[in-house]
Every structure is written in C-alpha cells, then in structure tokens.
Amino acid sequence: MKTDKVFEKIRTGIFILLLLLPAFNSFAQDAIDLNLLSAREEFKWGVKAYHRGLFNEAARAFEKALAFKPENTQMQEWLGMAWFRSGFTDAAIHLWASIETAGEADSMLSNRLEILDMQNGVSATAPEAGRYLPAMELEGVQKDFTLFKRPSAVLPDRNGGFYVASYATNEVLQFNSNGAITRKINGGLEGFNHPFDIRMAPNGWLYVSEFVGDRISRIGTDGRGVLKFGESGRGDGALLGPQYLAVDEKNFIYVTDSGNRRVVKFDQDGNFILSFGKKNYNFSGFTNPTGIECFDGKVYVADADRADISVFDYSGNFAGTLAAGKLNSPEGLSRLDGRTILVADTNRVMSLDADTGEVRLVSDVDGKAKRVVRTAIDANGNLLTADFDSNRVTVLTELANMYSGLYIQIDRIDSSGYPEVITDVRVTDRAGDPFVGLSSNNFVVTENGYPVPDVKLVYRGNTDNHLEAAVLFDCSAEMKTYQPDMIKAATSLMNSAGSRAGLKLVTAGENPTTEAELSNGSRQFIAAAADDGMFSEKARFDLGLRHAASELVNYRGRRAVIYITDGLNTPNSFEDYHPVELAGYLKNNGIKFYCVDVSNTTGISEELDFLCTETGGEQLYLYQAEGLGRMFDDIITEADGTYTLVFDSINKYLTPDDFIPLEVESFLYNRSGREESGYFKPGNF
C-alpha cells in the first residue's frame, strides 16, 4: 500500500512535469526570440527611415538590428544600401562583397557589385566595344499593311524614340522607344512632297527636306506651325532635289542641293545666306553631294561619287578632304560623339575621326542592309539605321551591351496610402548614364515573388521640364567681401528660375540652415542673401552641402546643388566628410553639383572641381556673358532616367509587422535589369 502511494506520487509528478514542459519550452523560446524581436523592430524602423531619405538614421537602426542578429544577411544588405545612399560607397561595396564571399549573395547583389566595380573603373572594358548588333527591326512594308515605305531618314528624339521620314508615303512618323507609332506628321495643308531628311535645331524646330518639292519645311514637334521655304531653280535660295540637312549651333540650316551640286545655307526662318561647293581655285567641285554634318565651326559634306568627305568652314571656304579611298558610296552623316562622325556607307555604317581621318567599321547591320542612307545614335546609345531599299529601320545595340543589362535603383517606396504603393526608381545603363523612354510595359513589379497586376507609370523624369535646386552660400568669413556678388547671384538665379525651378537658399555657416524658399516669395529669398550675420570663421562647407542635398533627396527628377563661392577652401571645409564621401552622397542620389565662382581670380579648388566632375555638374563664373540662366537650360535638357510606378499591393492581409519584399524589373530590346527592396504597410509604430 505504501509502495502504491509512492508510485502514485511519482506518476503525479511526472504528469505535472509533462504539463509544465511546454511552458518551459515556450519561456526558453521567448528568451531566444527576444533578440529576434528587437532586431525586427530596429529593422522595421530602418526600412521606414530609408524610404524617407533618412539614410544615417536608417544605418544606425540596421547596425542596432545586427547587434541582435549579426548573421542576418538581409539586414547586412540593407545596411550596405543605407551606407551607399549616405555616400559611403566603399564601405557598402566592402560589406556586400563580404556577403558574396560568404556565398550568401543572390544574383541581384552580385550584379550590383559587378556594375559598381565597372563604374568605379575596376573591371576591364567589354570586348570589341564600338561594334553594334541588331536589337530590333521595323519592317516598313508588311503583309497586311504599309507602316512606311522607302525610309530616307531616322532622327532620335530626346525621350528614347525616333522620327522616320517615309519618302514614298509622304509622311514623317514618330515612334517611341518600343517601336510603336506615337504621331504622324503630314506637313500641313500642302503636305510633304517626298520628304527626304529630318533634323532638329537647338531651338526645337524640326526641319524636313522635300526632294521632289524642292523646298524645306520647318515644323513643330507636334506637327504644327509649318513654314515652307525654297523654290525650284538654280538661283540663290533655289533648290533642285534637296536631300540631307545639318543645323549648326546658331540654328543655321545647311542642305545638300543634289541637282545643283552644292550646299545651300539658310537662317532659321528660311532666308538665303550663301551657297558653296562649286568648282573654284582650290576645290574641284562636288559631283554628287549627299550627307552633311556640322560642328565646331566646320561643315563636313559627303560625296557619293568621289567616296570622300570634304571639309568647309561655316562661310563655305574649303579646308580639306577626309577618308579618300576608304569609303564605298557615303550618304547620310551624323555625329557619334566628340569629333567622331557616323557615315552611312551603302550596306554598312562607318565612323570617321574628324581630326585624324581614321575610318572604322561600326556595323554591317547583320549583313542584311542594301542601302543605308541615314544613321544616328539615340538617347540610350543605340544605333539607328534607315535602309532605303529594304524598307527597314534597324535598332542596333553596342556589342558590349549584348553581355550586360540595365542598372535599377529603387530610390524609395511610399506605402502611406496602402494598399496603393508608390515606387520611385532610377534606371541607367551599366556605365551610369540615364536610360530614358521606358513605358509601363517595360516594367514588371513583384511582391513576395508574385507579379503585381495593373502597374501604372505616372512619372518620367525625362519629360519633366522642372528641376529642384538648393542654392548653397559659402558663409566663410572671407566671403563677406563678396556679399554684393552673392546677392546678384541669388537674384540672377531667382529671375532665371521662373516656373521651371524650385529654389531653396541654404547657408553653409557654422550651423548650416535652410534660410528661404523661393515659393515663399522673392523678398524673403533676397533678404536671406543680404543677411550680414551668416558669415563665420567656423563655416562648414561639408555640413552645408550635406544639408543642402538632404533638402533634395525626396524630390523626383532633376536636382542640383548650386554653390555660390570664391572657389577657395577653409581649414573647416572637409572636417567631417571627405570630398569622396560628399560626391558619393550626391551621385548615389542623382544630385548634380554646380559651382558659381563670384571672384574669377584663382579658379575653384581641386576638391570643388572634383565634386562638379563626379556628379555631372560644372563650374561657372557669375559674370559670364550668357548669364546663369544657361545652367537651368542645360540641366533641364539633360537626360533623366527616373520613373514612378503606382500599383495596389497584392499582400492586403499582412500585418504592419510583416516585411513585404518588392522587386522591380525593367527591360528594353535585349537588355534588362532587376533590383529588390521592400517595405512595411502603415500601422502603429
């Protein structure tokens, strides 16, 4: 009996122990998960700070998260992203490389490292750079309809698309970057009479030569405002079979007048200026003038019969001959880059160095070309060709790009209107140049690996003619002498801004401050520039620049910091941040740096020049003849590869504590790129 009681107590004890074991396990598990819980909370704050442009705060949060979970690869990668956007590029690359070395990197991280290595000059250049292969072909005459016939010209537009002159159907067609027609231009009430070439002038007008009409049409890019000039004949200003066009920096128009074997020059309104190319004491005269190009005070004219390029000055004086014996039957000319000319040479495209006369093969158009009459480089670096006899327009990609893709950076994700999600992305090529002209069907968005339907593209930076700029005043004590000049600079920028630029005035004093916004009125803006109390012996340029840039980080599109200075450094200029880190902060957030020198004495320092060069800005002098307004013109016309996508999340039943992975892929022709990020839905935090 006593033994039974003992066993009963043992059984009861075991039963109680079994009941308590889950509680003990739960307690132990909770103790272990406490670190994970803390890490997740810090990670959540870091992600939200990152998407608000608070990169230093985000980095601190990710560092705290890693203190709880140091082995977490996702948190390590986000820490690298925060460092990168803060300007600490080398630290970010080193961290990402350590993830790759540990075998924990996915393909997107490895691709990011490869591209950043290339952009920083680490990787070797791709083989056979400068050769182009077909990426897309547009057949003009198709089985069921005619898209165009006898394409005689192709002209890139600034948004990644292009115009095509359809000689046989008397139209000029505009295509987008995907090869879809967006506009037909018919030449006004009179129409076109066999349009041959198209050129765009710096003032924005399109000029179209009409081969049979013996005239030139000036027309707006919207197809309106048609002005026609020229008439049939041999006199001054008369034309017989006008073919190829060129436009110089001052909007003067040059046309090869094939029937009269000469070049005729007009002003932008069609008034005759001069003609040249006839035989004289030092030039044998054209036999069959075709393509024409002009830049840097020189006019280059191809002769299809002589198979060479003749060079003249803008007054028509003969200066020499290039490429004799190196071409077959050259026709259309266009500028490749610098002082290199593209030559449409029968069934191939050649490049001509305007200084050395060296001729090289660029593309044989995959061996399919019959008569390439015009060629040009589009806004994304693709080569366009118009094949007159094959009724074909071909888009060719540089051989180096056949083995590479696009680089996508997800700048921010705004989930405040959840389930609507707004995503800002930047798309560049692997060299870091903006990739423009993409449409909604060039993007694929996924959440948690599942495609998101109905993604809308609501913003394209390249079509936005507005910029945001921070005017940063050098407030070192030495600058007080130049305060009247600083006020003039602020006034000039304010007057030039108009509706195309939003301006903030930031002082780089001992404690950098945003003093005024132009939207609050010009009086406040100028009053801030006239404040005598802003100058200090302890002025901090580095902190001022960081503060000015932080004012722009969350804007879309074109952004710039404009520094008003005498161009000199002080002992405190780079006390906290090195010029490389400052350049990284600007460049990695798509912000350019411009330096306006009010002294024009010694020029700007090497460090300031470095910032201009690295970010794509430039140095200007306050009292230059063209004024500071040109800077706004230049910034607005530069390519911008920023896009904004809007969609409804497919993860509508997750909690505010659930991280939602997001991936954006972009593609065009045979090129593509992907990037991943993520966000949290709004909630108590």
Find all residues with CB under 8 Å of 673, minimum gap 6, and list them.
111, 405, 406, 407, 408, 427, 665, 666, 667
Burial class (CB in 10 A: 0-12, 13-18, 19+), 59: buried
Would you give the DSSP letter of residue 365?
G
Give the mean model confidence (pLDDT) for residues 28-48.
Answer: 82
Domains of the chain in start order, with CATH, are 33-119 (1.25.40.10), 132-277+333-352+362-402 (2.120.10.30), 406-462+641-675 (2.60.40), 467-637 (3.40.50.410)
* SS3 category, 544: helix
Among 286, 290, 255, CA closest to 270: 255
In this structure, which amino acid lies at residue 556?
A: R
Q: Rounded to whole angstroms, how far apart are CA atoms 622 and 628?
A: 7
Q: Is the pLDDT of residue 268 over 50?
A: yes
The answer to whether 110 touches 99, Cβ cutoff 8 Å, is no
Structure tokens at 183: 């506009």
Q: Which ranges in 395-540 belong to alpha helices (H)? A: 399-402, 483-497, 522-529
Q: What is the DSSP string of 53-91?
A: T-HHHHHHHHHHHHHH-TT-HHHHHHHHHHHHHHT-HHH
Which band of pLDDT confidence, cut at 50, 70 and 90, is reported for residue 601?
A: confident
Query: How do residues 377-407 score in pLDDT, each as one tens digit?
Result: 999 999 999 999 999 999 998 877 766 689 9
* SS3 category, 596: strand
Query: How do residues 494-532 score in pLDDT, each as one tens digit?
Result: 999 888 899 999 999 999 999 999 887 788 888 888 888
Q: Which helix (H) or strand (E) holds 457?
A: strand 456-460
The answer to whether 75 touches 69, Cβ cutoff 8 Å, is yes
Structure tokens at 412: 């921010």
Q: Rounded to whole angstroms, how far apart are CA atoms 173 and 598?
A: 48
CA distances from 250 to 227, 246, 376, 377, 536 (A): 19, 12, 21, 22, 45
Count CB atoms within 10 A of the CB of residue 130: 14
In this structure, which amino acid lies at residue 10?
A: I
Q: Is the pTM higher than 0.85?
A: yes
CA quadruple 602, 603, 607, 611: dihedral, nearest 10: 170
Structure tokens at 45: 């704050």
Among 163, 291, 261, 277, CA closest to 217: 163
pLDDT at residue 130, as a whole number = 60
The answer to whether 504 touches 471, Cβ cutoff 8 Å, is yes
Give the mean model confidence (pLDDT) for residues 544-553.
Answer: 97
Q: Which of 169-178, 492-501, 593-602, 618-627 has the highest mean pLDDT?
A: 169-178
In this structure, which amino acid lies at residue 280?
A: N
Q: Is the pLDDT of residue 310 over 70?
A: yes
- Radius of gyration of the CA atoms of the chain, in A: 31
